[in-house]
């Protein structure tokens, strides 16, 4: 029988004034004449973000949530080219260690989903260099937390660049230029407009990268509607990972805005998914991508409890009887 563990993304609707993503633009940074004072302000914002992250992890512990996506904006401007010599880890290392220690002590799976600026199949050398710079930032955060970075950063395959097949092969070519420690961090996810489940599995199987299946994206963009025929292939990509297979679950905002995430997740979508993959693996970690964040998680659990044949293992772990 499969256990389905639920997690949510970055922000909480139940913990007030706890944003882990407070920002400072480079324009704002430049307006502070004293550069040292400007960097000090950046470090204060970073410290606040990390403090709020720990608050959210404590909230998660209190609610038995052991799966959580960290914000990639923990340290503002850390990857900006004009701040290349700033040691952004130095003054927040203790906060990072505290976050990592708390996650380890409470058996929490925490990871990242770097934004769309990370494109590994780009034909442009400078873009690839910039993408690697952003991934190194995530690597430094994870190692400073005392966490093994392996399989903690979800990426999309990238752009099509007028030739999707050539761009798929370019991902493989560019992979050779990516340092092994960075390679080990990467997970690949199907997207909602370009690269399908089949495309991702082609790359994941060639390069031994775990595949993160996004059901909503599949419904928006697929070669064949029956994703279940490839589920065993998806499972196989996780054979060398320390983590259970991971999926992303969300609902479309509307028929006319199908690709955007809704506030909540339709329980029928999740229930159907659970029934189809039940008993295929011991555990599936399900990241809930919804505008209402942890409230969407709580609501989904509430809705599922009204159904026959559902049992809670913990308040956020479910199985189908």
Confidence (pTM): 0.96
* Residue 316 in tokens: 């956020």
Closest CA to 284 of 300, 297, 304, 270: 270
Length in residues, the chain: 321
What's the confidence (pLDDT) of residue 168?
A: 97
* Nearby residues of 95 by Cβ (< 8 Å), 6 or more positions away: 47, 50, 51, 54
Cα 41 versus chain centre, distance:
28
- Give the tokens for residue 87: 């040691």
Nearest in space to 158 (alpha carbons), one of 208, 124, 132, 121:
121
Helix (H, G, I), strand (E, B) or coil at 144: helix
Query: What pLDDT does 67 receive?
Result: 98
Please give, one letter per residue, the 3-state secondary structure of 160-202: CCCCHHHHHHHHHHHHCCCCHHHHCCEEEECCCCCCCHHHHHH
DSSP bridge pairs for 9: 69
Partners of 150 in the β-ladder = none
Digit-by-digit pLDDT tens for the chain (321 residues) are 999 999 999 999 999 999 999 999 999 999 999 999 999 999 999 999 999 999 999 999 999 999 999 999 999 999 999 999 999 999 999 999 999 999 999 999 999 999 889 999 999 999 999 999 999 999 999 999 999 999 999 999 999 999 999 999 999 999 999 999 999 999 999 999 999 999 999 999 999 999 999 999 999 999 999 999 999 999 999 999 999 999 999 999 998 999 999 999 999 999 999 999 999 999 999 999 999 999 999 999 999 999 999 999 999 999 999
Please give the pLDDT value at position 122. Answer: 98
The confidence score (pLDDT) of residue 232 equals 98
Residue tagged 């419904």 (tokens): 219
Encoding tokens for residue 44?
């204060």
Q: Under a CB-based contact definition with an 8 Å cutoff, are residues 63 and 316 in contact? A: yes
Go through the domains of the chain in sequence order and give each one's CATH number: 3-320 (3.20.20.150)
């Amino acid at each position: 029988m499969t256990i389905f563990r639920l997690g949510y993304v970055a922000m909480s609707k139940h913990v007030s004034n706890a944003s882990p993503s407070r920002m400072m633009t480079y324009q704002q940074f430049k307006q502070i004449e004293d550069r040292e004072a400007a960097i000090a302000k950046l470090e204060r914002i970073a410290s606040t973000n990390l403090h709020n992250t720990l608050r959210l992890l404590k909230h998660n512990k209190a609610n038995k949530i052991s799966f959580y996506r960290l914000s990639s904006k923990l340290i503002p401007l850390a990857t900006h080219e004009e701040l290349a010599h700033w040691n952004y880890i130095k003054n927040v290392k203790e906060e990072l260690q505290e976050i990592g220690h708390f996650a380890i002590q409470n058996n929490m799976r925490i990871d990242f989903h770097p934004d769309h600026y990370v494109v590994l199949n780009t034909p442009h050398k400078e873009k690839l260099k910039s993408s690697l710079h952003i991934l190194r930032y995530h690597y430094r955060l994870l190692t400073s937390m005392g966490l093994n970075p392996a399989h903690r950063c979800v990426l999309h395959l990238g752009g099509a660049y007028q030739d999707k097949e050539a761009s798929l092969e370019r991902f493989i070519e560019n992979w050779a230029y990516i340092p092994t420690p960075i390679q080990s961090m990467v997970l690949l996810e199907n997207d909602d407009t370009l690269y399908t489940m089949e495309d991702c599995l082609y790359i994941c199987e060639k390069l031994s990268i775990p595949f993160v299946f996004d059901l909503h994206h599949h419904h928006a963009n697929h070669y064949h509607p029956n994703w279940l025929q490839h589920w065993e292939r998806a499972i196989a990509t996780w054979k060398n990972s320390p983590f259970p297979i991971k999926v992303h679950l969300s609902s479309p905002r509307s028929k006319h805005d199908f690709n955007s995430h809704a506030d909540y997740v339709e329980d029928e979508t999740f229930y159907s998914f659970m029934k189809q993959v039940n008993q295929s693996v011991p555990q599936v970690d399900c990241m809930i991508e919804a505008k209402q964040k942890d409230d969407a998680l709580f609501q989904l659990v509430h809705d599922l409890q009204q159904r026959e044949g559902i049992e809670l293992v913990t308040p956020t772990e479910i199985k189908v009887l």
